[in-house]
Amino acid sequence: MTTDPYQSLLTHLTNCTDSEDIDKLLSALLTNKEQHDIANRIRIFDLLEQGVTQREISEQLGVGIATVSRGARAMQSHDVSALLATHRARS
């Protein structure tokens, strides 16, 4: 029987009951740079939602304009409102 590893990951994350378990898992799966890039993607979503220009976001976060543009495209394709609500509640 072949299982989809991504679906296994989603199931595991769904079953995690605290952020420490999730942090340990993501630390095992992702490099520090990948973790930083994900955090920056969330910041990009937040700043775009606030109306900050892509160029300003690029300068503020020290990322390329292409990185910000990819974030903007992802935001158009996916509903990130729940993620942004959680991000803002913790900020």
pLDDT digits (tens, 9 = 90+) for 53-87: 999 999 999 999 999 999 999 999 999 999 999 99
- Kindly tell me if the per-residue pLDDT of 6 is higher than 60: yes
- Kindly tell me if the per-residue pLDDT of 40 is higher than 70: yes
Number of helices followed by number of strands (H, E) in the chain:
6, 0
- Kindly tell me if the per-residue pLDDT of 1 is higher than 60: no
What structural domains does the chain harbor? Answer: 19-90 (1.10.1270.10)
Task: Look at residue 3 in the predicted model and tell me its pLDDT.
Answer: 81
Task: Look at residue 2 in the predicted model and tell me its pLDDT.
Answer: 56
pTM (2 decimals)? 0.86
Question: Are 54 and 65 within 8 A, CB to CB?
Answer: yes
Question: Are 79 and 45 within 8 A, CB to CB?
Answer: no
Packing angle of the helix pair 81-90, 32-49 (nearest 10 deg): 100
At 60, give phi and psi (nearest 5°).
Answer: -65, -40
- Kindly tell me if the per-residue pLDDT of 22 is higher than 90: yes
Task: Look at residue 61 in the predicted model and tell me its pLDDT.
Answer: 97
